[in-house]
Chain A
Amino acid sequence: ILNVEQSPQSLHVQEGDSTNFTCSFPSSNFYALHWYRWETAKSPEALFVMTLNGDEKKKGRISATLNTKEGYSYLYIKGSQPEDSATYLCAPYNNAGNMLTFGGGTRLMVKP
């Protein structure tokens, strides 16, 4: 089982603030990294799937970068809105385990 760490565990920001969080994972046997957004009382929803070192993906105000050599990914949210409040999960996939291993998540709360 991979050791996947996400930081911070939780984050409170004001509406309009930009924020970012980190996902760290073992770089060996890396194949892909998934980011999911999980709103309370709903189910996780895919944001990005990244595979290449240096990859950068963007969806609206949310973007993510990937460094497979050092084993980390950043998720950025520009101009946070209350509807961005959710838990953001990262999950690397490596060839050894053939499965996604989810991190504990970063819980974001955006105050209006």
Chain B
Amino acid sequence: DSGVTQTPKHLITATGQRVTLRCSPRSGDLSVYWYQQSLDQGLQFLIQYYNGEERAKGNILERFSAQQFPDLHSELNLSSLELGDSALYFCASSGWTAPPYEQYFGPGTRLTVT
């Protein structure tokens, strides 16, 4: 158990809908990262927050947004969902924003868009 929690575990929704994925980092970790893992692709970095502020952005679609709240939990909002958004979404956390620090991954949320 990494100490990172993600809810829900599974989510099935229809095209065009909007969903929110939630992540609670390990106690004391200030950085939260979001990753997407699709069937035909490896882990793709989406976005990072550090202590409430956006720190780095990867290939995150404009339909997707995220935020980190004062209690450090983070939410990833996915809107106007398409079939291709079906994927496993991981949240990870680390103590600092500096790269030498390993990231601790949550169990993931499996999103299925029908």
Residues on A lying within 8 angstroms of B by beta carbon are 1, 31-32, 34, 36, 42-46, 49, 51, 89, 91, 93, 97-105
Interface pair B103/A100, CB less than 8 Å apart:
yes
A residues near B58, Cβ cutoff 8 Å: 1, 99
CA distance A97 to B59 in the complex (A): 11
Interface pair B45/A32, CB less than 8 Å apart:
no
A92: shortest Cβ distance to chain B, in Å? 9
- A46 CB contact (under 8 Å) in B33, B45, B103: B103
Interface pair A49/B100, CB less than 8 Å apart:
yes
Complex interface residues of chain B between 26 and 71 (CB less than 8 A to chain A): 33, 35, 42-45, 48, 55-56, 58-59
Given contacts A99-B48, A100-B103, contact A89 B90 (CB under 8 A): no
Chain B 69-100, CB-CB to A under 8 Å as 1, else 0, gives 00000000000000000000010100000011
20 residue pairs from A and B, CB less than 8 Å apart = A1-B59, A31-B100, A32-B99, A32-B100, A34-B103, A36-B105, A43-B90, A43-B107, A44-B43, A44-B90, A44-B92, A44-B105, A89-B42, A89-B43, A97-B56, A98-B56, A99-B56, A100-B33, A100-B45, A102-B44
B25 at the interface (CB under 8 A from A): no
